[in-house]
Amino acid sequence: MTVESTAARTPRRSAGSKAGTTGTKRTRTTAKKDAGTEPQLVQLLTPEGKRVKNAEYDKYVAGITPEELRGLYRDMVLTRRFDAEATSLQRQGELGLWASLLGQEAAQIGSGRATREDDYVFPTYREHGVAWCRGVDPANLLGMFRGVNNGGWDPNSNNFQLYTIVIGSQTLHATGYAMGVAKDGADSAVIAYFGDGASSQGDVAESFTFSAVYNAPVVFFCQNNQWAISEPTEKQSRVPIYQRAQGFGFPGVRVDGNDVLGVLAVTRWALERARSGEGPTLVEAFTYRMGAHTTSDDPTRYRGDEERQAWEAKDPILRLRRYLEASNHADDGFFAELETESEALGKRVREAVRAMPDPDHFAIFENAYADGHALVDEERAQFAAYQASFADEGGN
Amino acid sequence: MADKMALAKAINESLRRALESDPKVLIMGEDVGKLGGVFRVTDGLQKDFGESRVIDTPLAESGIVGTAIGLALRGYRPVVEIQFDGFVFPAYDQIVTQLAKMHARSLGKVKLPVVVRIPYGGGIGAVEHHSESPEALFAHVAGLKIVSPSNASDAYWMMQQAIQSDDPVIFFEPKRRYWDKGEVNTEAIPGPLHKAQVVREGTDLTLAAYGPMVKLCQEVADAAAEEGRNLEVLDLRSVSPLDFDSIQASVEKTRRLVVVHEAPVFFGSGAEIAARITERCFYHLEAPVLRVGGYHAPYPPARLEEEYLPNLDRVLDAVDRSLAY
Ligand SMILES: Cc1ncc(C[n+]2csc(CCOP(=O)(O)OP(=O)(O)O)c2C)c(N)n1
Ligand SMILES: [Mg+2]
């Protein structure tokens, strides 16, 4: 007998710290300080929305206009709105998973807006705010969380690499990319995002080594959101993370990650260092993961709500709003208009996700190789014949 | 005492028993302590045995396995958790170049009784790197033993035996079956760790599988029975060593063999089984050994995984093809 005899059939049942002592004292490049002393935090805007002077970093935001400040505010509000929409889409079953950036808007918008168009960004899986700054369509970020693709955007159209789930890997890619930039004699810079947990990975330590040895134009941007799933930062490091840089031979700075202005200034400084051939910098943005690790996580198992409440008082959006209002840089009309824009964004994202088609089955075999592969072709053909064996029976 | 419990709970109980009975047993991994692991397999263990025995490690897999090797050199019996299949690779170097080879290099003087637990396989709609089946990448390496239970009772007993083994054991846990309940008799006398078990007797064809695919094969056998076909289902339980004697005995009876695994078919464990069984019982076979498994393509996004993973129809299709010879 041959296999043809079994070709046509119907489917049979397949189912398918005190951190951030947000004090208002003047701060400076903490890398110069000895390890073991109370880490200082660069901060330009206090939680109360007061602008504090900073001798070292003020110049990086000196010319900032009210319009630009409103822009930063708008970015943060829209990013938070998008994030909330994604969380609710997950609850509704439209997404399989979501990793919320709630609380980290200033760290991401401040650093993202510091980048230039020709700079290159290497994100983790949580950099939705940075993606926004790079002009990646928010809806495109949701494909992988919906399960229709494993990436879904062209990294080169916005110089924004695909999300990286394997912790720490991207820091080496960023370093290599930066080594290439230097070889080309370009004055672009590269920025690699990673978390406090990731700081323990061998890949991250190796990226520090390589970038230092080759003086690569890369900024390591660590969002210390105090948690790696259930493990607090103390489980990863006995010294503040920014101090790690010193041992590798480049500067590290801790910035208040909930202060968008501070983050913008410090990141501009670090990117400028990269551009001007001064090599790598480590920026530790001291912030807080206000939500669960992902929608699969239950943080009540490992942390109390008091901590969260303490951080609520340092909210990044609230403090910029206070500043904008106190300095008369924004009026009620601006905030109202933004509210409308926000809702429209939510709606657009919702609709885009719901309309996202499931991928064609043959997508499994697409792009496994650039130059093709005989076995993939063979398996695709077998798959096609197998699928067709059901279609044959479809009419009856 | 026989209790009905979920597979994840059975592993939890087994780890608890090991911690109670041997002070050298340690649990290590990311989020295994306070959280009890992302699948709650180590739930409650840190609370009861303390932070020095149930250890939340830094986020570094090479570090986890590398330090487990050192602890084993010092006389401990670490049971380490890799959070998901796709995250074992930072530790692959330590596992392949060190863990697997130390016994041989020391001319047998050094034993490394390390268990590496890996929740593996797909079917849970996860994002990438959370659904892979990398067992063949470890089976290729001499010095490692590789097992994968399919049910709660085996999960319990195989974990006991893995921890007692003086060889390193990679313990692949079928994550999509974590919540499946089964009887666990904690006073039973278990059979050997690396022996396959006939879980359903049949005469017409042998389905061989391990871990998550055993249940599927049982469903296939049920469906085939409705069509008058009497399939035997063999739960291999161990990928290295493989129990070729049991496969051979079954195939000499049924004369047909289909191997099912989630891992890609190309260079997968099914390929090794097909080759050995063809050598051992060429004249008994009425059909070539067929394999059903993943394709030679990256594990697809969640909305395609049903097309990628072996399912009832795909296995039945292979059964039909085998019987058609
Ligand atoms: C190599 C690797 N190991 C484990 C995981 C599982 N995992 C995903 S996120 C995470 C914690 C990451 O913490 P952190 O680096 O602080 O980033 P955050 O999630 O806080 O943004 C872990 C352990 C992974 N994705 N990759
Ligand atoms: Mg973190």
Q: Are residues B162 and B212 in the same domain?
A: no
How far off is chain A from B64, nearest CA to CA, in Å? 11
Q: What pLDDT does residue A34 have? A: 44
Among B178, B305, B313, the strongest candidate for a mutation testing the A interface, having the largest count of A CBs within 10 A, is: B313
* Residues B158 and B285 occupy one common structural domain: no
Residue A120 has pLDDT above 70, yes or no: yes
In this structure, which amino acid lies at residue B179?
W
Q: What torsion do the CA atoms of B55, B59, B62, B68 make, to the nearest 10 degrees?
A: 0
Residue B190 lies in a domain: no
Annotated catalytic residue B296 = no
Q: What is the CATH number of the domain that holds B243?
A: 3.40.50.920
Give the chain B residue nearest A164 (alpha carbons): B128
What the block records as the tokens of B141 is 């390496």
Question: Residue A255, exposed/middle/buried by CB under 10 A (0-12, 13-18, 19+)?
Answer: buried
Domain boundary among the residues B185, B207, B227 is at: B185
pLDDT given at position A393: 59
- Number of compact structural domains in chain A: 2
The string of DSSP letters for A211-241 reads HHHTT--EEEEEEE-SEETTEEGGGT-SS-G
Q: Please determine, for residue A7, whether its predicted confidence score (pLDDT) is greater than 50.
A: no
- What residues pair up with A193 in beta bridges, in sequence order? A221
Do B87 and B179 reside in the same domain of the chain? Answer: yes
For residue A295, report the phi and psi dihedrals to the nearest 5 degrees. -65, -15
Check CB contact of B86 with chain A, cutoff 8 Å.
yes
Please give the residue range of the domain that contains residue A371: 363-390
A218-224 vs A190-195, strand pairing mode: parallel
What is the amino acid identity at position A187?
A: D
Give the bridge partners for B54, in sequence order: B27
Q: What percent of chain A has pLDDT over 70?
A: 89
CB contacts under 8 A, B 220-239 vs A, are: 223
| Same domain as B247, residue B121 | no
Q: What is the pLDDT of residues A215-273, one digit of tens each?
A: 999 999 999 999 999 999 999 999 999 999 999 999 999 999 999 999 999 999 999 99
B19 with B154, same domain?
Answer: yes
> Is A289 in the active site?
yes
* pTM of the predicted structure, to 2 decimals: 0.94
The Å distance, Cα A230 to ligand 2 centre, comes to: 9
Q: Residue B22: which domain range?
A: 2-185
Number of domains in chain B: 2
A152 pLDDT band, cuts 50/70/90, is confident
pLDDT tens, residue by residue, A160-184: 999 999 999 999 999 999 999 999 9
B169 and B279 co-located in one domain: no
Please indicate, yes or no, whether residues B175 and B148 belong to a single structural domain of this protein.
yes
CA B82 – ligand 2 centroid, Å? 18
Name the helix (H) or strand (E) containing B173. strand B169-174
Shared domain check, A245 and A131: yes
Whether residue B244 is contained in a domain is answered as yes
Catalytic residue from among A80, A126, A244, A293: A293
- Is residue A38 very low, low, confident or very high in pLDDT (cuts 50, 70, 90)? low
Query: Looking at the structure, do residues A216 and A322 belong to the same domain, yes or no?
Result: yes
Helical H runs in chain B? 7-21, 45-49, 61-73, 92-93, 102-105, 135-139, 152-164, 213-226, 244-254, 269-280, 305-308, 312-323
Find chain B residues with C-beta within 8 A of A377's C-beta: none
CA of B287: how far to CAs of A186, A280, B279, B324, in Å? Answer: 63, 62, 14, 8
Residue ranges, chain B, pLDDT below 50: none
Give the position, in ligand 1's atom list, of the atom nearest the Cα of A126.
Answer: 21
List the single best residue of B304, B314, B322 to mutate versus A (max A Cβ within 10 A).
B304
Q: What was the pLDDT predicted at B2? A: 83
Respond yes or no on whether ipTM tops 0.85: yes
pLDDT band at A31 (very low <50, low <70, confident <90, very high): very low
d(C-alpha A239, C-alpha A222), whole Å: 14
pLDDT higher than 50, residue A18:
no
Q: Are residues B41 and B155 in the same domain?
A: yes
* Amino acid letter, residue A50: K
Residue of minimum CA distance from atom 3 in ligand 1: B87
Sort A7 into a burial class: Cβ within 10 Å, 0-12 / 13-18 / 19+. middle
pLDDT beyond 90 at A341: yes
